Amino acid sequence: MTDMTEGWTGLPMAHYKAWRRVFNEMFTAHELSRAAACPLCGKGTLYRAFALQGPEIHRRLDGELYRGHGQVWEWCDNCRTFDHTGHTLVPDWARPHTVPPETGSRDPSAVIPLLPGFGDATTPADGE
Ligand SMILES: [Zn+2]
């Protein structure tokens, strides 16, 4: 039995630059896990999920279209390293998830159950 709330480790500062480089370079990648390797463990098991907070504003900033303000979780499903930002801009391409505000969870255990097909092989291929 797997407890989703156990075993998460916040991103160590020593790996911050490498982590940011991977996620920033893959800024518009929907399927990170197939495009990039985790800077900590080297596995291609990186994920990212957004949640919107407040209204959709659809504003362009530095050439990128943003959907609104929200939170972002980034994590590696293999070594269970994660990073969380509570105030960020949600890109327009993202399909943000609705996270119950009372969760207050910084690790991705609150968003993982919301991802369609996460952890199984039946994820539908919708679009590119
Ligand atoms: Zn990893």
Residue 100 neighbours by CB distance under 10 Å = 10
Q: What is the pLDDT of residue 54?
A: 85
Query: 34 pLDDT exceeds 80?
Result: no
Q: Would you list the domain boundaries of the chain?
A: 9-114
Q: What is the pLDDT of residue 123?
A: 43
User: Which stretches within 1-128 are classed as H helix?
Assistant: 16-25, 32-35
CA 19–ligand 1 middle distance (angstroms): 10
Q: Coil, strand, or helix at residue 7? A: coil
Q: Coil, strand, or helix at residue 13? A: helix
CA 37–ligand 1 middle distance (angstroms): 8
How does residue 126 score in pLDDT terms, banded at 50, 70 and 90?
Answer: very low
CA 41–ligand 1 middle distance (angstroms): 4
Q: What is the pLDDT of residue 79?
A: 96
pTM: 0.79
Task: Look at the chain and count its residues.
Answer: 128
